[in-house]
Amino acid sequence: MEARLFKLTAAAVLMLTASCSLKEQVTSYSERDKFYKNVTEIQAGLNACYTPIRSIFSNVNFWQMTECDTDLMYLNVSNQYNAICNISPSRPGCATVIWQNAYYGVSRANTMLNVISQANAKGYISDKEARQLTAEAIVLRALHYYLLTSSFGDVPYYEEEVTEENRARIASLPRMSADDTRDAIIAQLRHHLLPTSKGGIQALELRRTYEDGTDYRIGAAVGLYIGGRMALWNHRWEDAVDFFSTLEEIYGELSKYPLSDVPFSRKYTKESILELPQVYEPNGLQIIGGLAPWTTPVRRVVVVDDEEAAQRDSTHCFYNGIAIPELGYDAHIYSCARPTPYVYQNLLPYNSEDLRSGEYSNGASSPRGGSGNLAWRWSGFDPTTPEEDWTESNRAVMWFTSPAKASGCPWLGNKFWCWDMKYVRDYNNYKIFRYAGALLGLAEAHLMLGDQAKALKYLNMTRRRAALSDLTSVEVGGKDELLMEEIRCEYAKELFGEFCRKFDLVRWGIWYERTIQYNSCSRLLDNIRPCHRYWPIPSNQVANSGGALDNKEYGE
């Protein structure tokens, strides 16, 4: 098989955080020994392992699949198949994107692991450099398998480089137990990332991902988070504690990371473990996603008779009854996802002290410094006010036209909005992994290990930052099942809309029951079945495997 060196192109900066030239081109090399002779060239090859990550997370269907098919939000639009579980092996929706791209990432990581080994054996790179590059490739492969096992459950697993000789055999691999796959990944991450005190070799520096800038490659923090998540899936609670506690040693007190940094418009924040970076430059570099058009209050078009007025009003900034210049004059908004009543009536009601309930909820007349989950009101201008009078002194906090009162359904909040969006070009950085998620993982793991005091300690860290009082064992009745429900609710509030709710519900074994209980989307409720806990393997992939793969759960 022809060896390839993948580099970045300006049209598609598809890796997440590497500092590489945007002018480099994709180049093919038939003789590998002419290339990969130093760290820079091997890093350029590793860049291809980053490519599929963007393809998955920038696809709004993946967000719909992980967040709208849950107890927290819904999108009642007939042609958004992933949001309403209107999928099958023959119409797999986002499953095709996940399957193809994640396995691209696996295959490329396997190739680069072989490349690194050969380069080290030939003396092109030192042993230390080889350990670092190997660990990066291991983390990248782990991320792809995390997405595969979370989305599909049991999937084929392999570690060898694909060649002409083994291609057919690898293509016909059957499903392997997801637990076994995760066990293999956990062992690799433990070895390469954990400090020697925990049995690892610490091949990568233990530091925050975005410590001093935006040019870092995926490092130890991402791998530690993935290892902890996989350990939670497999009920390997001690391993989860090892991974997440190492992150705690790196990131420290949660209180030093402001909740106001959580919105996606806040880029490369120090609490972030992994962000999907995007940029929009008019007539220049454009690396964009499409989430904000599905999460912003609807932009109304004012119909007028006068031609001059019609031209002026075609580029207004009226968002559901409020003029919000910061959201822009050109944004194109679709039918938006909305929170379920379970969220805005129970978890994050309007009158809640929780800073995650909304920037202007609870009667606040100024920003509360929250994470922006929901929006009942916003600071802007009455659309009937002439634009020349839009001054800061005339700005007021107003209700969106719908709902008109606190008991109504709010919009999704500014956590997801893109300021001055151009049509559907969302240039926010999507928050994929955050430190707060690791602390909640510690709360869950310690509870499962029987240490309720430590579980409360870590749960209260995220509560305290959101301006809530600490919970005690008395308040949860001293019962583990009640405390676990509090932890589940805290996951919902803290990580709302961050690509993980369905995965959490599935690993807890409660996805189907909770979704049909709390989700109010009629189209989803018409379609949803227990088999939808995992996405189907696309039927063409089943055919290509020669029957080694199947979708038996969907057949039942």
pLDDT digits (tens, 9 = 90+) for 358-370: 999 999 999 999 9
Query: pLDDT-derived band of residue 427, with 50, 70 and 90 as boundaries?
Result: very high
Is residue 12 pLDDT above 70, yes or no? Answer: no
User: What does the angle CA 323 – CA 426 – CA 405 come to, to the nearest 5 degrees?
Assistant: 40
**Residue 433, H or E segment:** strand 430-434
The closest alpha carbon to 433, from 52, 34, 65, 57, belongs to: 57
Is residue 309 pLDDT above 90, yes or no? Answer: no
Measured in whole angstroms, how far is the alpha carbon of residue 529 from the centre of its chain? 24
And the tokens for 47? 């860049």
Strands 73-74, 27-28: pairing kind: unpaired
Give the global pTM: 0.93
What does the pLDDT read at residue 308?
A: 53
Query: pLDDT-derived band of residue 406, with 50, 70 and 90 as boundaries?
Result: confident
And the tokens for 326? 């910061």
What does the pLDDT read at residue 24?
A: 31
Per DSSP, the residues of 3-15 read -EE---BTTB--S
Q: Which amino acid is at 374?
A: L
The closest alpha carbon to 554, from 92, 171, 76, 67, belongs to: 92
The closest alpha carbon to 70, from 327, 337, 311, 301, belongs to: 337
Q: Are 425 and 280 in contact (CB under 8 A)?
A: yes
Per DSSP, the residues of 120-151 read HHTTSS-HHHHHHHHHHHHHHHHHHHHHHHHH
Per DSSP, the residues of 380-416 read EB-TTS-GGG--GGG-EEEE-SSS-STTSPPEE-TTS
**Residue 362, H or E segment:** none
Give the count of alpha carbons within 13 A of 407, CB side only. Answer: 0
| Region of residue 509 (phi > 0: left; psi between -120 and 50: alpha; otherwise: beta) | left
Rounded to an integer, what distance in angstroms lies between the CA atom of residue 476 and that of residue 294? 37
Give the count of alpha carbons within 13 A of 541, CB side only. Answer: 24
Which residues, in sequence order, are CB contacts of 42 under 8 Å at separation 6+? 36, 112, 115, 116, 119, 125, 133
Query: pLDDT-derived band of residue 15, with 50, 70 and 90 as boundaries?
Result: very low
What does the pLDDT read at residue 501?
A: 98
Query: pLDDT-derived band of residue 114, with 50, 70 and 90 as boundaries?
Result: very high
Neighbours of 460 (CB within 10 A): 18
What does the pLDDT read at residue 23?
A: 28
Query: pLDDT-derived band of residue 31, with 50, 70 and 90 as boundaries?
Result: low
Is residue 463 pLDDT above 70, yes or no? Answer: yes
Rounded to an integer, what distance in angstroms lies between the CA atom of residue 191 and that of residue 266? 34
Helices (H), 17-125: 39-57, 60-63, 95-121
And the tokens for 449? 């290990």
And the tokens for 193? 């990332």
Is residue 20 pLDDT above 90, yes or no? Answer: no
What does the pLDDT read at residue 315?
A: 62
Rounded to an integer, what distance in angstroms lies between the CA atom of residue 412 and that of residue 298? 11
Query: pLDDT-derived band of residue 26, with 50, 70 and 90 as boundaries?
Result: very low
The closest alpha carbon to 36, from 110, 108, 119, belongs to: 119
- Point out which residues pair with 235 in neighbouring strands: none
> Per DSSP, which regions of 318-425 are E strands?
318-319, 322-323, 338-339, 374-375, 377-380, 396-399, 411-412
Strands 318-319, 338-339: pairing kind: unpaired
Strands 272-276, 430-434: pairing kind: antiparallel
What does the pLDDT read at residue 307?
A: 54
What does the pLDDT read at residue 394?
A: 92
315: buried, middle or exposed (CB in 10 Å: 19+, 13-18, 0-12)? exposed
Mean pLDDT (whole number) for 433-442: 99
- Tokens 């690993």, located at residue: 507
Strands 411-412, 374-375: pairing kind: antiparallel
pLDDT in tens, 231-274: 999 999 999 999 999 999 999 999 999 999 999 999 999 999 99
Is residue 316 pLDDT above 90, yes or no? Answer: no
Give the count of alpha carbons within 13 A of 249, CB side only. Answer: 14
Is residue 32 pLDDT above 90, yes or no? Answer: no
Neighbours of 22 (CB within 10 A): 12
Rounded to an integer, what distance in angstroms lies between the CA atom of residue 260 and that of residue 447? 29
| Dihedrals phi, psi of 418, to nearest 5 degrees | -115, 120
Q: Are 192 and 203 in contact (CB under 8 A)?
A: yes
Q: Are 410 and 339 in contact (CB under 8 A)?
A: yes
Mean pLDDT (whole number) for 41-53: 95
Measured in whole angstroms, how far is the alpha carbon of residue 544 from the centre of its chain? 30
- What percent of the chain has a predicted confidence (pLDDT) above 70? 92
Q: Are 443 and 424 in contact (CB under 8 A)?
A: no
